[in-house]
Chain A
Amino acid sequence: DAKTTQPTSMDCAEGRAANLPCNHSTISGNEYVYWYRQIHSQGPQYIIHGLKNNETNEMASLIITEDRKSSTLILPHATLRDTAVYYCIVRAYSGAGSYQLTFGKGTKLSVIP
């Protein structure tokens, strides 16, 4: 079962920072937080992941709270092409040496011109 809680939808003005929150209050010490996004009818696109430290790459920044119970994905300058469903995932051990991704419903981000 999904172990994260995200808002159903959010709007962001084009050119502004998009801050997408995620709660994962039951996260365990060795579980990573992953973010993917999915543009309509396409495969999920990897954005970023982290364990406890803040992370940044060319796409986004991931801010994880010190208690690791929540995180925020930041898209620094949102464009219309960032309109998508964003999934926050806690990647947990699922048995037999497998660490699968368990997707929830995600947040539908709409970037407004």
Chain B
Amino acid sequence: DAGVTQSPTHLIKTRGQQVTLRCSPISGHKSVSWYQQVLGQGPQFIFQYYEKEERGRGNFPDRFSARQFPNYSSELNVNALLLGDSALYLCASSRLDPTPGNTIYFGEGSWLTVV
């Protein structure tokens, strides 16, 4: 079975632009989360969605938004890009309602560079 897939794998944007990152969860998984990983640090939680509803939000500005579609895929949008938004953006999925015992699996990420 395919794992969590993300697109694009790499992209370069200019300050002030907007970007959309896409994620397809593992088949049968209904919960999707987004994480940001800046170089040299561990991933930081941005959003979690379950059954198309937002279930959690990390400490990120309103420039960051996300949504989940009926097929459980998800998009992360970032508006008004700043240089500090340059990072690896990770999508993760889990099978069921996000309880603490359900395993979360990560994709390979989308590398965003803002110039």
Question: Do A and B interact with each other, yes or no?
Answer: yes
A contact residues vs B (CB 8 Å cutoff): 2, 30-32, 36, 41-46, 49, 51, 87, 91-106
Apart from A42-B109, A100-B56, A101-B45, 13 more pairs, CB < 8 Å: A41-B88, A43-B108, A51-B101, A92-B100, A94-B56, A96-B57, A97-B55, A98-B55, A100-B45, A100-B48, A102-B45, A103-B35, A105-B42
B33 touching A103, Cβ below 8 Å: no
Give the shortest distance, in Å, between A74 (CB) and chain B (any CB). 19
Give the shortest distance, in Å, between A30 (CB) and chain B (any CB). 7
How many angstroms from the CA of A37 to the CA of B13 in the assembled complex? 29
Q: Within B92-115, which residues are at the interface with A (CB < 8 Å)?
A: 92, 97-101, 103-109
B104 touching A96, Cβ below 8 Å: no
How many angstroms from the CA of A107 to the CA of B67 in the assembled complex? 33
Is B81's CB within 8 Å of the partner chain A?
Answer: no
B contact residues vs A (CB 8 Å cutoff): 4, 33, 35, 41-45, 48, 50, 54-58, 88, 90, 92, 97-101, 103-109
**In the A-B complex, the 6 residue pairs with the closest CB atoms:** A98-B56, A103-B42, A43-B106, A100-B45, A99-B100, A43-B108
How many angstroms from the CA of A47 to the CA of B50 in the assembled complex? 23
Q: Which residue of B lies closest to A100 (CB)?
A: B45
Q: Which residue of A lies closest to B33 (CB)?
A: A100
How many angstroms from the CA of A45 to the CA of B41 in the assembled complex? 16
B101 touching A101, Cβ below 8 Å: no
A44 touching B90, Cβ below 8 Å: yes
| Contact of B99 (CB < 8 Å), options: A41, A46, A95, A99 | A99
Give the shortest distance, in Å, between B52 (CB) and chain A (any CB). 14
User: What are 17 A-B contacts with C-beta separation under 8 Å?
Assistant: A31-B100, A32-B101, A44-B90, A49-B101, A51-B101, A94-B45, A96-B54, A96-B57, A97-B97, A98-B48, A98-B55, A100-B48, A100-B56, A101-B35, A101-B92, A102-B45, A106-B42
Known contacts A98-B55, A105-B42; decide if A43 and B107 are in contact (CB<8 Å).
yes
